[in-house]
Amino acid sequence: MKINIVELKPKKAVIKIEDTKPYFINSIRRTMLADLPKLAVEDVIIYDNTSALFDEIIAHRLGLIPIPTDLSLLNFREECTCKGKGCPNCTVRYTLSKEGEGTVYSGDLQPAEKTWAIKEDKIPIVRLYGDQRLILEVEAVLGRGRDHAKWQAVQAPAYRMEPTVEFDKEHKKEVKEFIEKLPEGVVEMKNDKIIVTDVTKLPILESYIDKEKIDFISIKRDPTKITFTFETDGSLTAKDAIIESAKILEKKYSEFGKLVKNLK
């Protein structure tokens, strides 16, 4: 297997993978969505809320705020030595107290320890008017996307197989005429080959082929060469998300292998 990092940002990654199979990439994708842990607000204690929103709406919005997650420092609450009571090893606490005209943002959540400060600090929670106020306390715990969407660290993980465009050599003239009709930057012709210059614009080529009812041009996809793209909500970096997902998947394969060996 060959891996080429096309783009790697704190919240986005584009990875080209060769000598692989779609089912393997899809396994990583599903692991990211369902099994990758992250912190999210689970318990909310509202001491005072005179805003225009009900307590339940405030709690829902708090649950969707991305919380910076360090998986090396935290345990799942149900697996912690505190037996689910909630200790610093499994629970991160925040307080919020705001009164008067203005917007309450995610950055107004004050952590018990500064290392857990909210990075996405401009997410609006509620607008306060006059002398309205909001005072609350929350607890954030680790969870997985399969339990609730608020624990889903990765958004829109997707993959596509590398396309190749082939054409009937007897229709070379018609192919050149067809390419001239396409918008700029979709494909180009080099050494009697059609090169896709921008894979994201491939649907444009497909739509033109259908529209013109072209039967001498075909698009094939190579299942051994795949581009994998995903973004995170900021609770985990893209690098941490892919590495942790690979570790989880490896562990699942290992456990499955042990179970298969025990079959009689």
* pLDDT reported for residue 256: 87
How far is Cα 40 from Cα 109, in angstroms, rounded to an integer? 13
Write the DSSP symbol of residue 168.
-
- For residues 19 and 4, is the Cβ–Cβ distance under 8 A? no
Mean pLDDT value of segment 30-34:
96
Burial of 220: CB neighbours in 10 Å, binned 0-12, 13-18, 19+: exposed
- For residues 77 and 90, is the Cβ–Cβ distance under 8 A? yes
pLDDT at 202 over 80: yes
What percent of the chain clears pLDDT 70, i.e. is strictly above it? 100
Residue-wise DSSP of 176-204: HHHHHHSPTTSEEEETTEEEES-GGGHHH
Q: Which residues pair with 13 in a beta bridge?
A: 8, 230
Residues 6+ apart with CB under 8 A from 130: 100, 101
Mean pLDDT value of segment 141-160:
95
Q: Which residues pair with 8 in a beta bridge?
A: 13
The residue with greater pLDDT, 106 or 191, is 106
Burial of 69: CB neighbours in 10 Å, binned 0-12, 13-18, 19+: buried
pLDDT at 181 over 80: yes
Mean pLDDT value of segment 197-225:
88
Closest CA to 62 of 45, 87, 76: 45
* pLDDT reported for residue 179: 87
Taken in order of first residue, the domains within the chain and their CATH numbers are 2-34+156-229 (3.30.1360.10), 38-151 (2.170.120.12)
> How much is the pTM?
0.84
Average pLDDT, the chain: 93
Closest CA to 153 of 84, 45, 215, 245: 245
- Token pair 């607008």 is found at 127
Residues 6+ apart with CB under 8 A from 212: 178, 181
For helices 22-34 and 238-261, what crossing angle results, to 10°?
110
* pLDDT reported for residue 264: 66
* pLDDT reported for residue 146: 95
CA atoms within 13 A on the CB side of 248: 19
Residues 6+ apart with CB under 8 A from 238: 8, 9, 10, 11, 12, 13, 230, 231, 232
The residue with greater pLDDT, 186 or 23, is 23
Mapping DSSP to helix (H, G, I), strand (E, B) and coil, where does residue 58 land? helix
* pLDDT reported for residue 260: 87
Write the DSSP symbol of residue 109.
P
Listed ranges 83-92, 127-136, 248-257; the one with the highest mean pLDDT: 127-136
Mean pLDDT value of segment 116-135:
96
How far is Cα 178 from Cα 70, in angstroms, rounded to an integer? 53
CA distances to 169, 175, 177, 186 from 192, rounded to whole Å, are 8, 10, 14, 16
